[in-house]
Structure 1
């Protein structure tokens, strides 16, 4: 694992992955609130400018959240965001299809933040896409089915930010989507932080560290 790189070096590195044959998947991992989505958005924009928008795709892990109806059935509603509250089999299958069926458009679920629910077939990755960026908390997890993700990625980078900043971001995010200040802080403490500790334990398995601030995260 290398020390954090600057934004230009990261874009150069991502583009260089295309020297490999076939389609390439780059993973972006990190704890809740670390800035993965913002970093990924900046990286995708820079790569689209360099490679062309038709050559770059995005497959976020968040689309594979289990719907609330399933979480209620499984008794997991109060742990939403934990590894077992995702359809890891569906996520792995989508990643495999990116490699095994490059000539077919992949339709995958997205995640609607306002609804806090997955939306079927919200994402389309066309055959022209050579480099797919996928981001999520558990890309480097070694158990629960998640261990199948890492072999499907050319590299996985780990996004970091100061823990106090990360926690405050999470509180604001939960407040934005309807929780009271007290409820938001309780959710961060009881749900998000145990997940963050689990994700942090996978840090050393990453190929690179990314300073979230360096790419606008």
Structure 2
């Protein structure tokens, strides 16, 4: 697996190449919570414009009511708290590229997803999807990797992830104590599951700026 040190220009060059093949391509950006997946995807979109669309995995979070029914509210973000099969099915439709596909978008301020929020038109050559479990080798998540034309894994140290995640949770309303507890009890537990999946990526990204 090659390691990327070239920053955003080199990554943008790879994304442009994917968008220039003449047919629909899907780029997957994986990594632990707080690793910067969404930020990188949006930077690429800002450069590629109408040649790309971003479809985050987070749109497939199960609803809060369903998590409470399942008794999984305190582990939101774990692999079994997403509609993974639905995500795989959406990627298959996107890969076909024959019709406009609508993807859901997760809104962190209300901790819920809104259906039909992201249109992916058939003439968009590159779809960028990002999320924690794109490279997880567990059914049904294992259905994602074969649908990706290229996959990148964003690597951050544990200390960097913890710092970013605590600030994110505080920004969205948790007290600092609540944020620290959640990060160590849930987010970093998920990160320990995600990190080994980097071996399935085409590119290990250690620098983005």
TM-score range, shorter chain: over 0.9
Which residue of 157, 163, 177 corresponds with 1:182? 177
Q: Mean alpha-carbon deviation: is it higher for 170-179 or for 90-99?
A: 170-179
Q: Which residue of 2 aligns with 1:164?
A: 159
Q: Mean alpha-carbon deviation: is it higher for 82-91 or for 171-180?
A: 171-180
Q: Counterparts of 1:190 and 1:114 in 2: how far apart (Å)?
A: 21
Q: Which residue of 1 aligns with 2:40?
A: 39
Q: Are 1:86 and 2:82 an aligned pair? A: yes
Q: Which residue of 2 aligns with 1:58?
A: 54
Query: Match of 1:174, SS?
Result: helix
Which residue of 47, 63, 70 corresponds with 1:67? 63
Q: Which residue of 2 aligns with 1:3?
A: 3
CA deviations 1:116-144 (Å, max 9, x no partner) are 11111111111111100000000000003
- The root-mean-square deviation of aligned C-alpha atoms, in Å, is 1.3
Q: Which residue of 2 aligns with 1:199?
A: 194
Q: CA deviation at 1:47?
A: 2.1
Q: Counterparts of 2:79 and 2:194 in 1: how far apart (Å)?
A: 10
Q: Counterparts of 1:196 and 1:144 in 2: how far apart (Å)?
A: 18
Give TM-score, length-normalised by structure 2: 0.95
Q: Counterparts of 2:26 and 2:9 in 1: how far apart (Å)?
A: 19
CA deviations 1:26-73 (Å, max 9, x no partner) are 00000001111111111121222xxxx2x2111100100000011011
Q: Mean alpha-carbon deviation: is it higher for 155-164 or for 139-148?
A: 155-164
Give TM-score, length-normalised by structure 1: 0.91
Q: Specify every segment of 5 or more residues in structure 1 that has no aligned partner in the other structure, as ranges.
A: none
Q: CA deviation at 1:75?
A: 0.9
Q: Which residue of 2 aligns with 1:76?
A: 72
Q: Which residue of 1 aligns with 2:142?
A: 147
- Give the count of matched residue pairs: 208
Q: CA deviation at 1:17?
A: 2.1
Runs ≥4 residues deviating over 6 A: none
Q: Which residue of 2 aligns with 1:15?
A: 16
Q: Specify every segment of 5 or more residues in structure 2 that has no aligned partner in the other structure, as ranges.
A: none
Instruction: Judge conservation of contact 2:26–2:127 (CA < 8 Å) in 1.
Output: yes
Q: Counterparts of 1:3 and 1:135 in 2: how far apart (Å)?
A: 19
